[in-house]
């Protein structure tokens, strides 16, 4: 809304400047009317400069806010990627352990019972961590959209 109002003001000032420029071309240089019209033209240019300065200030603030949002989104994305990478590595190692357990390979005997316990507890912890990470991410996204 602010930009539309500024654009309308700029268009109006441009029209006044063109009209006064045309009027100045037809006036004698030494007349009082020429000086008065020139003063009006300077006022219009000054107002136009003020509007442009305010617009630039507004755009700078919007750019800073946008950069901040982008930085936050990139940070969340990197964090999600780290969690996903860690989860996938843990999942692959657990699947590898279960596959190895079914064969007479490296994991057998008393280590097998210990491995089963570690596997179950790690799988449960992995599930709880995934659920907590999902809920925390959703909560954080909602709190950012409200603010």
Residue 108 has pLDDT above 60, yes or no: no
What is the length of the chain?
Answer: 147
| Mean model confidence pLDDT for the chain | 79
Query: What distance in Å separates the CA atoms of residue 63 and residue 80, rounded to the nearest whole number?
Result: 25
pLDDT for 52-70, tens place per residue? 898 899 899 999 999 999 9
**3-state DSSP percent of the chain in helix, strand and coil, to 5:** 90, 0, 10
Query: What distance in Å separates the CA atoms of residue 74 and residue 85, rounded to the nearest whole number?
Result: 16
Residue 94 has pLDDT above 80, yes or no: no
Q: Check residue 28 and give its pLDDT.
A: 84
pLDDT for 29-53, tens place per residue? 888 888 888 888 899 899 999 988 9
Q: Is the pTM of this model over 0.75?
A: no
């Amino acid at each position: 809304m602010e930009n539309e109002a500024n654009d309308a003001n700029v268009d109006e000032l441009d029209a006044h400047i063109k009209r006064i420029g045309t009027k100045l071309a037809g006036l004698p240089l030494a007349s009082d009317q020429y000086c008065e019209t020139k003063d009006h033209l300077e006022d219009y240019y000054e107002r136009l400069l003020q509007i442009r300065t305010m617009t630039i200030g507004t755009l700078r603030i919007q750019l800073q806010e946008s950069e901040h949002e982008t930085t936050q989104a990139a940070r969340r994305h990197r964090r999600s990627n780290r969690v996903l990478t860690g989860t996938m590595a843990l999942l692959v190692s657990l699947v590898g352990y279960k596959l190895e357990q079914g064969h007479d390979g490296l994991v057998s005997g008393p280590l097998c019972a210990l491995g089963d316990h570690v596997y179950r507890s790690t799988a449960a912890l992995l599930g709880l961590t995934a659920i907590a990470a999902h809920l925390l991410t959703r909560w954080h996204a909602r709190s950012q959209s409200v603010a």
